[in-house]
Structure 1
Amino acid sequence: MAGTAPVPEVTLREYGPAVSVPLAPEAGRALAASGILRSATPDPGREGHWLLRAGSRVGAVRTPGGPVVRITPKTPVSRLFFLLGFSLDPARAWRDGREGTVDTGAYDDVVPALAHAVERRIDAALLRGVLQGYREVEESALVVRGRLREAEQIRRHFGRTPPAEVVYDAYTADTAENRVLRAAVERLLRLPGVPGTVRRRLAHQRVRLADALPLTPGQELPRWRPSRLNARYQPALRLAEAVLRGTSPEHRPAGAQPLAVDGFLLDMNKLFEDFITVALREALREHGLTARLQDPHHLDTAGLVRMRPDLVVRSGDGRVPLAVVDAKYKAEKADGLLNADLYQALAYATVLGLPEAHLVYAAGRRPERFHEVRGTAAGPGGRGVRLYQHSLDLSREPVRLLSALREIAGRLARAAPRP
C-alpha cells in the first residue's frame, strides 16, 4: 500500500503528543499489547498508520516485526543520570553533588549515554586487574582434589574410582561480580543505538571479563556482597545491575502472552520516586531521624486495604512515625490541584496519626503550598490536618536540587511531633 511502508525507527517524546507512524497491523498490535507506550491505536485519519504516544518510560527498544522505538526524556540526559547515580550511590553523590557522578560523555540520548557510562565505570573497576575470588566447584575428576563427595560417588559410580566426585574451592575470575559486569556488557552490545566507538570499547571489556561465565537467559542476577575487596567494583556493579533490570523487559497486561522486547527503558516515575526518597532519607539523618521507604500499612482495621507511602519519617530508634512523604512525577493541573493526590496524602496522615502530610512534585508553579482539611481541627493547637505540596524543578543544577531537598528535610524535621 503506497505511503505505508514500515519505518525502521520511531522517535517519541516522554508524555509528548501522539505521532502517526506507518506500521503493519501485527506490529501495531504488538506495541499496543507491550505496555511500553502510553497508547498505541490505529490512526482513524490515515490508513495503515498507528498513533503512538509515549508515557513515563524513556530509552529505546526493538520490537519483533516492528521498528526501533526511541523515547527521549523531557529532563536533560545528564540530569537524568545524576538522579540515577544518586539513587544508586547516595553517599558519593551527596558528597560532591555534581552531574559527573555518572559520566555520560557528550551523549544526549539515553542509550548512548548509558552505554558510555557503564563502559567507563567497568574500565575504572578493572584498572588494577580483574577481581578474583574463591568459588566452590563440584565436578567429576580423574584425580582426587579437595574433598570426595561420597554420596555422589556411590550414586553415580557405585563407589568405584576414577572418576571421582569432588568438591573444592577454586581461586578464579568466575565470580558473581564479574558475571554481573559481563552480563551488562553483553546486554549493552545488543541494544539499538549504541555508538560504534562505545561498542568497540564494550567489546574490549567483554574480552577482559571472558573468564566469567555468561548468565543463562531468565536466570536471577548473581548475588554479591559489598566488601573491602570489591570496593573498586561497586560503582560499576550498581550501574550494571540497573542496566540488567531495565533491559529486555516483558511488558504485558494481565493474561496476555509475553512479548519480548530488546532494549533499555527507564521509568521516570520510579526514577523520580527513588531519587526523592533516597535523598530525603540521607538528609534526615543529619537531624537524627530515620526514614523507611515504601513503609507498609493498612487503611482499614480489617487489614484488607494495603497502602505504602513512599517515605515515612520516624524517630531515631525507628519506632514512632513523625511525618509522611509521597513523590509524584507529574505536573500540576491548570488549577494547581491534584485532588486524588491530596486524598491519598490525607489517608496516609489519618492512618499514621499525623497532623500533616507532604507531596513532592517534579514541577509546579510555586515552591510550596498547603491545604488545611475541614473537620480535622483536633490536632495540636486546634489546627486541622495540613497537606503540603512541594515542587522540585529538575532543570536546576544538581547542587541546587540537593539544597532544595535539604530544605524540605529540614521542614519535615521541624514540623515532626516529638515523642
Structure 2
Amino acid sequence: MTQVVELVEHAPATGHVLPDAVGRALAAARIVDASPDPHTPGRWLLRAGSKVGAVSVGVPGSGAPVTVRVTPKVPIARLFFLLGYSLDPKGAWRDGQVEVGEHRELLPALAHAVERQIDRALRQGLLQGYRATEESALVVRGRIREADQIRRRFGAALPVEVAYDEFTTDIPENRLLRAAVERLLRLPGVPSEVRRRLLHQRARLADTTPLHPGQPLPAWQPSRLNTRYQPALHLARAVLDGSSPEHTPGGLRIDGFLFDMNKLFEDFVTVALREALRGSELTGALQDPHHLDEEDAIRMKPDYVMYGPDGTPLAVADAKYKAEKRDGYPDADLYQMLAYCTALGLPEGHLIYAKGNAPHAAHRVRHAGIVLHQHALDLDREPAVLLADIAALSRHMGADLPV
C-alpha cells in the first residue's frame, strides 16, 4: 500500500517514518526541507516550502512508493487564476473561469482542468497544419533533394529523396496536448474518472507523434487558426514545465508535479503590472537585465521596470512570495531593492509581497533620500478586486492611468 505524506505549504515541520533513501532524495531534490529526526531513528522531519503539488518517490525493492502531497495555502481556484492570468491575461482566465470541478487538491484539479480544456479544443476536430517532411519515396512529391539524391543513391533513379509540406494533424499543438495528457496519466493521485476522460483524449490524439523524455517541447505560435486551442496549450505547457521525472543513483525514481509559488506569484504580479499600463504611453519590462557597476561586471535583473515614452526608467519592482517574519519583511529584500534604485537612478523602489501584517510600509534610506516601499497583496480577494489592487499599485508607482 502506498504511503501518503500530507504537508501544507510553509507549515511547521512534522515527523514521518520514511526509508532513509526517500528522505535523502526529498532533501537532495529540494522538494521539501527534510532532515533526520535526531531523537528517533528512521523518522524524518519534513517541512514544505513554496513548492506545492504531489510527487511519488520509488525505492527499488521496498514495494510501493511514497507519495508526498503539499497543499497550497491559496484556494485551488485562486491558484489557477494566478497561473492562467500570467500565461494569458487576455483569455478566459481574466474572470477566473477555470473549471476545476469539485476537486480541492492541486493535482486532481489540474488534471480535471487540463482534460476539460483539451475537450473544448478538440470538439471541432483536431487542428491541422503544414509540416515540412523529408523522406525517401518511390514517386516524386514536392521537390527533389538533389544533393541527398547524389550522395545517398549514387545515380540510381529510385527511391527519390524528396521534400514537401504535408497537411497533417501531427503538428506542435497536438503533440503538446498529447504530451500533457500522457504526463498526467503517469502522475500519482489523478482520480479514476478524470483518468478515464484523459485516456479518451489520448485516443483522440493517437495519430500525433509522442514526445520522448528529454526531448525539447515543440514550439507553437498563437494565431487566428489555433485560437480555440490556446487555453489548453497554455495549461499543457504548465503541466510539462512543472513535471519532470528524475532518476537518481541506485534506481531511485522521483516523479510528480510541483508548482513553485514563488515563480507563480512573481509571474502573476509582473504580468498584471504590465497589463495595467495598456492604454498609456508607458511600458513595462519583465526580468529586465541591468548592471550595478560601471564596468558592467555585476549583473542584476529586477522583476519589473516601468519605462516612460522616451525609454527612461520610471519605477522598479520585485515580487516576493515568502513567509513574512513576525517583526516584518526580510531585510535582504530592502538591500536588493536599494541596489536596483541606485543603478537605475530612481528615487523610489517597490517590493510586493503576498499578504502581510500591514498593506504598506515605506523606509527612507539615510544619506541617499531613496524611499523603499513594501506592499502586500491579499490573494484571497476576488480576481477582479485583486487586479484592481494591482492597477492602484501601478498608479502608486507613477503610472499615469485613469482612476
- Same-fold call, TM cutoff 0.5: yes
1:261 is displaced (CA, Å) by: 2.4
Asked whether 1:90 is paired with 2:89, we answer: yes
Query: 2:386 corresponds to which residue?
Result: 401
How far is 1:257 from its partner? 10
Instruction: Return the offset for 1:415.
Output: 8.7
Matched, 1:390 2:396: no
1:12-411, aligned counterparts within 5 Å? 12-37=7-32, 39-65=33-59, 66-92=65-91, 97-100=94-97, 102-248=98-244, 250=246, 261-317=254-310, 319-376=311-368, 384-411=369-396
- State the AA in 2 paired with 1:288: E
| Whole-Å separation in 2 of the counterparts to 1:258 and 1:161 | 51
- Note closer, same or farther for the CA distance 1:414–1:188 as it changes in structure 2 (3 Å cut): closer
Rounded to whole Å, the distance in 2 between the matches of 1:56 and 1:15 is 7
TM-score (norm 1): 0.90
Q: CA deviation at 1:48?
A: 1.1
Identity of paired residues, percent? 61
Partner Cα distance (2:354, 2:128) in 1 = 43
Q: Label 1:97 to 1:413 Cα distance change in 2 as closer, same or farther (>3 A).
A: same
Paired residue type of 2:47:
R
Partner-residue secondary structure (3-state), 1:264: strand
Rounded Cα–Cα distance in structure 2 between residues aligned with 1:264 and 1:173: 28
Within 2, Cα distance between the matches of 1:342 and 1:230? 44
Q: Which amino acid in 2 is paired with 1:203?
A: L
**Helix, strand or coil: the match of 1:143?**
coil
- How many angstroms does 1:325 deviate by? 0.5
Give the equivalent residue in structure 1 for 2:62.
none
- State the match for 1:381 in structure 2: none
SS at match of 1:63: strand
Deviations 1:348-402 (A, max 9, x none): 11110011000111011221121111102xxxxxxx2111111101111112111
Aligned equivalents of 2:89, 2:164: Cα separation in 1: 39
Q: What secondary structure is seen at the aligned counterpart in 2 of 1:284?
A: coil
* 1:172-195 deviation per Cα after TM superposition (whole angstroms, max 9, x unaligned): 100011001110010011111111
Unaligned runs of 5+ in 1: 1-5, 377-383
User: CA–CA distance in 2 between the matches of 1:116 and 1:153?
Assistant: 50
Q: In structure 1, how many angstroms separate the alpha carbons of the residues matched to 2:229 and 2:2?
A: 41
Distance, in Å, in 1 between the alignment partners of 2:338 and 2:261 is 25
The 3 A distance-change label for structure 1 pair 51 and 367 is same
* Residue type of the alignment partner of 1:42: P
Question: Would the aligned equivalents of 1:330 and 1:363 in 2 still touch at CA under 8 Å?
Answer: no
**Paired residue secondary structure (1:90):** coil
Letter in 2 for 1:324: V
Which amino acid in structure 2 is aligned with residue 338 of structure 1? P
For residue 19 of structure 1, report the CA deviation from its aligned partner: 2.1
Distance 1:251 1:396, change over 3 A: farther
Letter in 2 for 1:343: Y
CA distance in 1, matches of 2:232, 2:177: 7
Number of residue pairs matched by the alignment: 396
The code of the aligned residue for 2:387 comes to L
1:7 touches 1:22 (CA, 8 Å); kept in 2?
Answer: no
Amino acid at match of 1:300: D
Find the residue that maps to 1:413 and give its secondary structure: coil
Conservation of the 8 A alpha-carbon contact between 2:128 and 2:169: yes
Compute the RMSD of aligned alpha carbons: 2.1
Runs of 5+ unmatched residues, structure 2: 60-64
Tell me the distance in 2 between the aligned counterparts of 1:337 and 1:261.
34
What SS does the aligned partner of 2:257 have? strand
- C-alpha distance in 2 between matches for 1:137 and 1:97: 39
Is the contact between residue 134 and residue 169 of structure 1 (CA under 8 Å) also seen in structure 2?
yes
In 2: Cα distance, 1:138 partner to 1:97 partner: 42
- Measure the CA separation in 2 of the matches of 1:355 and 1:259: 52
- SS of 2:90's partner is helix
Distance (Å, rounded) in 1 between the aligned partners of 2:73 and 2:335: 28
Using a 3 Å threshold, how does the CA distance of structure 1 residues 339 and 201 change in structure 2: closer, same or farther? same
Separation in 2, partners of 1:16, 1:90: 31
* C-alpha spacing 1:257/1:305, structure 2 compared with 1 (3 Å): farther
**Deviation (angstroms), 1:97:** 4.1
Amino acid at match of 2:162: V
